[in-house]
């Protein structure tokens, strides 16, 4: 008896579906790829160890040379904005399907493919550098895939004591003696958004206007995003000289951390681009 009911039910639902889709006009959805270029100015970053001859060496506004051995950051909360202002959020509450760790050492992480983006002309993109507070709880049960990929031994984007994610992890060397720099960011806030009871919010919302519309329809556009790590020490908010007090994770005093966060992620008010810019849109 129950089986029979299920048959009738399936048939009914199927009919309903068919009649609906035949009414809609051409609901084409397609992929949008975000391609991340990590650079110092116009020069692509090449990673290297302390004495590497091939690593890209940058010089800060304060004249301090530095190069990186590791560059990682979390992108989440991605929203595409149509020319008419409509905002299309992309799995913004689902870290498994809407967040990624960009790891400069792994080329496959530099292209983030978003699927089933509704047809339309998009003129703006917003995304988070880091993870917004309500999702930043290392909730392995809800988002096992993101949790696992962020926590892998070669990724190390769990911020254990804060039970959140590392938003950025930059390891490298600075100055003529190649002293170690180790710059991590992450949030330490407690309480509800808007009324935090303590801590520092290292999440930054980035807004970038596209130079030409990304047209989703029969084509699957690629948005090329430049992340210029020259901003780390020479940003819009702060000009930073590295030294004993701020180059290693004692930056977790979060005072120093905040300066790095503002330089690469913006100050959240007048600067909502930080180190990011759109290099091109390929339709």
User: Residues in the site for other proteins, rule: CB under 8 A?
Assistant: 2, 5-6, 8-9, 12-13, 15-17, 19-20, 23, 138-141, 144, 147, 151, 158, 160-163, 188, 190-191, 197-200, 248-250, 252-255, 257-258
Judged by CB, which is closer to other proteins: 9, or 83?
9
CB of 168 to other proteins, least distance (A): 16
Judged by CB, which is closer to other proteins: 58, or 188?
188
CB of 278 to other proteins, least distance (A): 31
Judged by CB, which is closer to other proteins: 10, or 209?
10
Phi, psi of 35 (to 5 degrees): -110, 120
Two tokens at 105?
A: 């050492």
CB of 244 to other proteins, least distance (A): 9
CB of 191 to other proteins, least distance (A): 8
Q: Are 167 and 203 in contact (CB under 8 A)?
A: yes
CB of 153 to other proteins, least distance (A): 10
Separation between Cα atoms, residue 28 and residue 25, nearest integer Å: 9
Helix (H) or strand (E) holding 214: strand 204-216
Judged by CB, which is closer to other proteins: 2, or 177?
2
Judged by CB, which is closer to other proteins: 86, or 250?
250
The three state secondary structure string of 108-163 is HHCEEEEEEEECEEEEEEEEEECCCHHHCCCCCCCCHHHHHHHHCCCCCCEECCCC
Residues contacting 85, CB < 8 A, separation 6+: none
């Amino acid at each position: 008896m129950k089986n029979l009911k299920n048959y009738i039910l399936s048939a009914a639902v199927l009919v309903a579906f068919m009649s609906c889709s035949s009414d809609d006009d051409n609901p084409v959805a397609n992929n949008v790829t975000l391609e991340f270029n990590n650079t110092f100015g116009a020069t692509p970053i090449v990673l290297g160890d302390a004495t590497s001859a091939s690593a890209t060496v940058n010089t800060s506004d304060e004249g301090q040379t530095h190069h990186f051995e590791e560059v990682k950051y979390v992108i989440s909360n991605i929203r595409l904005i149509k020319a008419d202002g409509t905002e299309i959020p992309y799995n913004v509450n689902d870290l498994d399907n809407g967040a990624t760790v960009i790891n400069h050492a792994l080329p496959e992480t530099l292209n983030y493919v978003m699927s089933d983006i509704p047809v339309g002309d998009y003129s703006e993109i917003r995304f988070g550098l880091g993870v917004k507070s309500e999702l930043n709880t290392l909730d392995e049960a809800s988002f096992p895939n993101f949790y696992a990929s962020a926590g892998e031994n070669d990724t190390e984007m769990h911020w254990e004591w804060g039970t959140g994610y590392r938003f950025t992890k930059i390891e490298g060397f600075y100055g003529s003696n190649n002293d170690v720099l180790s710059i991590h960011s992450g949030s330490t806030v407690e309480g509800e958004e808007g009324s935090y009871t303590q801590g520092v919010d290292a999440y930054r919302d980035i807004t970038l206007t596209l130079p030409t519309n990304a047209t989703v329809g029969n084509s699957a556009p690629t948005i090329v995003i430049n992340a210029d790590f020259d901003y780390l020490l020479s940003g819009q908010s702060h000009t930073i000289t590295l030294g004993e007090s701020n180059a290693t994770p004692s930056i977790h005093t979060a005072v120093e951390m905040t300066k790095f966060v503002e330089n690469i992620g913006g100050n959240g008010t007048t600067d909502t681009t930080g180190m990011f810019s759109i290099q091109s849109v390929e339709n």
